[in-house]
Structure 1
Amino acid sequence: MKKIWTEKSVYFLVAAIAIVYIAMCHVMKDPYKMNIDRWATLEFSVQHWTKGEYIYDTPNFMGNLSSYLPGQLLLSSVFYFLGNVGYLQVSAFLLFSYVIFLEFKGNFHRFLAILMLGISLAYIYEVVCKSDFISSFIAVAAFILFWSRKFKDDYFKKPFLLGIGIGILCLTRSAVIIPLIIFLLNPFIKTSWENKIKFGISFLLTVAILLASVLLPGKSIEHVLQYNPLNLQGQSNKFVMLFFIILSIILSFYVKKIETVFYYSAYILFFVMLSFVSEQYMTLGFSYQNNFFSTTYLAACLPFCIIGYCYTKQKAE
């Protein structure tokens, strides 16, 4: 079997899946006929944002309002200018493959991780529908892997750069703060006050600039308070989210190795999304499942599950 799991075979797998994904981005010839609006919402949100227009009060063709945070708009804008927002998921897959190559030296583990993401039905669904949901969590998982390898001895060696990166990532999806808390809270407490201040300044400036870019075009303060991503973005009950955030804070002090970050993050993200989906079923009924997108919420933990599983397989050997 070792002859099969060569570096060339892994590169071939990455290239093959990437090509298939690019083709899948062009499967929907007439997406307006489908009961899916993720691609349209992302596309017109980036379009309005790049023109300096307010995005949270403009309904799409299905009558739904955008709830995109500016960090996600920033990452998606590259692919909007390339002509297809669906390429974001292709790029996220390539980013995932890159960090897998960095972290795991065994070609079997590389092949396994890349294949598991590549054939995931939830991810394939998102590629076809040009959605962006799982890509946020892939970006966070990739950042954690890359940063932990680059600055293994001191995560706050580059506090300004870290603050900018965390600021952008925190404004992609609200739930991504969970793995980031587990990863960085304990090291943040232990680092010097100088690093804390540098990190805090760069983080707050990044967040402030990004938020200003989406909120300042609003007609008035009242209008912004009514139409803003925190009100519009789907998320669990506030008390449920508070419970999981507190749990993440507690677990962050039990992290001894990088793989533990992925174990904890996978479990908590899954239960966060499960609580959200369950809440929607209870309030909206089974009609909530009509567009099938609700199922992919459960796949938020997918990159953390795959990486954690590969760590487990590597330990077993």
Structure 2
Amino acid sequence: MPQSVTISVPATSANLGPGYDCLGLALSVYNQTTVTILEGDRPHVEPHHPMVEAIAALFFQQPDVEEAPFPFAWSIQGDVPQSRGLGSSVTVRLGILMGLNELCGRPLNKERLFTLCAEAEGHPDNVAPAVFGGFAVASKEQHFRFPVDERLKAVILIPEYEVQTAHARTALPESVPHGDAARNTAHACTLVAAFATGEYERMGADLEDFLHQPYRRHLVPGLFEIVHAGVTAGAIGGYLSGSGSAVACLTTSGDPDAIASAMLQELAKTGANGRTIIVAADNTGAKPIPGTA
């Protein structure tokens, strides 16, 4: 049995506007989680972290896992920022799950890892693209994956401030007008069709959302203005990534640098600082780094 392994997990951008809690996109920016077996018989985790301990306990509870719980150390590094709506918590949970699975001889397949991670995370729209890569349509019951052409680029604006997911959910109303729900359903369906067919240029208006972004806009001042600036500079459209604070604009033929500059200029008008990254989709998903096991 190997003693240590490092897992690379991509960032994810969830919701994509109207796909609240069901659509997600894996991005070519990563965190690397290393899991190393420690000596001793008493199971424990170093450093102590409730999230890591909980996902490890869930892994060892699975009937197909024959190994008894063992002590391990873990560490994480990479470029996925915390609390920005880019799936940082998934990179931890999935990294630990896949790391333990590798160290135990892969008793669980990717489908099972997805189910366990989604159960712990509570957001299958982030977990599915992190596990399988590409563009994902996901629920707790099932998921679908579509590969994404390399010509589609995402310009991600990352403000200096965080938005906690739990806080962002408290901003949502208990109900929304029937007309808004109907329009949102139409947009989500046509957005999925655009990704399924590769007709990305047709999805601009379909990124508009009526379920969560209007109620969260105060958490990211200038949200709609930032998206508009990106579109004016050549983006197909844009949206709040996850619950924020990151804002994403998608493009195929526009100049990503010009789009990034326009988004940053609009953010500056709100008095906040930030940075941008320009990334493609990741079509592979989480994987062990060769030579680390």
What TM-score, normalized by structure 1, do the two folds share?
A: 0.29
- Choose between structure 1 and 2: higher helix proportion: 1
Instruction: Flag the structure with more relative contact order, 1 or 2, with Cα contacts below 8 A and sequence separation at least 6.
Output: 2
What TM-score, normalized by structure 2, do the two folds share?
A: 0.31
